[in-house]
């Protein structure tokens, strides 16, 4: 699978990982990358499975990159490609624009949720749990609105 990283931060720890085919860091790079990749998807250039990972999606909100990124996300969804977007739950509470596009599958991972994420992000209720009793990395994997409690392993460098 071909992996792409989009991040607003030039000093991203994720960007240092060796598995990315390309990293777009900073608003100008994100605009150029998203515009180019969207065009390539439209033209049928990409045939292999691919994924676009967006770090700190909420930091791109309100910037010139948001519109270009929304266009890329829509193109990825139209081509059944994998998109992962990380950000604060409050960003995903909107049903319009980029947050609305990212929420269409009602699927994702909510780590150490406050409880409101179920309704605001996934339009689903999480089972009762005590957040204070949960270890780091505990949360809910939600697939098409159905939550299941999971434990995510922490990397050795965390």
Please tell me the predicted confidence (pLDDT) of residue 94.
Answer: 87
Please give the helix or strand (H or E) that residue 110 lies within, else none.
strand 108-111
Q: Note whether 21 and 4 are within 8 A (CB).
A: yes
What's the average model confidence in pLDDT over 103-121? Answer: 87
At residue 157 the predicted structure's pLDDT band, cuts being 50, 70 and 90, is: low
Topology given in CATH for the domain delimited by 1-104: Rossmann fold (3.40.50)
Q: Which residue intervals of the chain bear CATH 3.40.50.300?
A: 1-104
In this predicted model, what pLDDT tens digit does every residue of 44-89 receive, in sequence order? 988 789 999 999 999 999 999 999 999 999 999 999 899 999 998 8
At residue 158 the predicted structure's pLDDT band, cuts being 50, 70 and 90, is: low
Please tell me the predicted confidence (pLDDT) of residue 148.
Answer: 94
In this predicted model, what pLDDT tens digit does every residue of 127-155 receive, in sequence order? 888 888 888 889 999 999 999 999 998 77
Q: How far apart are CA 116 and CA 113, in angstroms?
A: 7
Q: How far apart are CA 98 and CA 95, in angstroms?
A: 8
């Amino acid at each position: 699978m071909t992996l792409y990283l989009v991040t607003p931060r030039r000093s991203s720890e994720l960007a240092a990982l060796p598995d990315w085919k390309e990293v777009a860091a900073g608003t100008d790079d994100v605009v150029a990358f998203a515009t180019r990749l969207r065009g390539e998807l439209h033209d049928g250039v990409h045939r292999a499975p691919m994924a676009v990972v967006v770090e700190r999606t909420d930091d791109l909100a309100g910037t010139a990159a948001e519109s270009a990124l929304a266009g890329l996300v829509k193109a990825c969804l139209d081509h059944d490609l994998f998109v992962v977007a990380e950000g604060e739950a409050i960003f995903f509470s909107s049903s319009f624009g980029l947050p609305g596009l990212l929420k269409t599958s009602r699927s994702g991972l909510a780590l150490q949720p406050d409880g409101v994420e179920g309704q605001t992000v996934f339009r689903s209720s999480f089972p009762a749990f005590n957040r204070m009793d949960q270890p780091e990395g505990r949360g809910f994997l939600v697939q098409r609105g159905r939550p299941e409690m999971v434990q995510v392993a922490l990397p050795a460098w965390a």
